Amino acid sequence: MPRLLGGYRRVDILIGQRVRLFRHASGISAEAMARVAGLDVGEYASRELGEARFKAGELYEIARVLKVRLTDIFAAIAEPV
């Protein structure tokens, strides 16, 4: 069973934090990233906060725009599956 942190899945929180880190480093706004992912700003924000899950296609587009690999985003998950 996945570990929950305040009701949210730990992995979703870690991935959201990693996306936010790369987005800030790239100087891209949340509004612009939401457009890239095909989401409204509220949906995007809930994913960055770990309250909702990014879909694979959303992460692919985000990584492409941020010029990072998907593995860079998933590096936040330190424990083996």
Q: Is residue 79 part of a domain?
A: no
Given a cut of 70, whether residue 6 has pLDDT beyond it is no
At 76 the pLDDT is 78
Instruction: Kindly give the interhelix angle for 56-66 and 30-37, rounded to the nearest 10 degrees.
Output: 130
Supply the range of the domain harboring residue 22: 4-74
Tokens of 11: 């992995």
Domain count, the chain: 1
Residue 80 lies in a domain: no
The CATH number of whichever domain residue 57 belongs to comes to: 1.10.260.40
Domain assignment present for 22? yes
Residue 81 counted as domain residue? no
Per the domain annotation, does 52 fall within a domain? yes
- Could you tell me the CA-to-CA distances from 67 to 27, 42, 45, 63 in Å, in that order? 12, 23, 20, 6
Cα dihedral across residues 1, 76, 55, 41: positive or negative? positive
52-64, pLDDT tens digit by residue? 999 999 999 999 9
In a domain, 41, yes or no: yes
Give the model confidence (pLDDT) of 28-73 as tens digits.
999 999 999 999 999 999 999 999 999 999 999 999 999 999 999 9
Residue 46, in any domain of the structure: yes
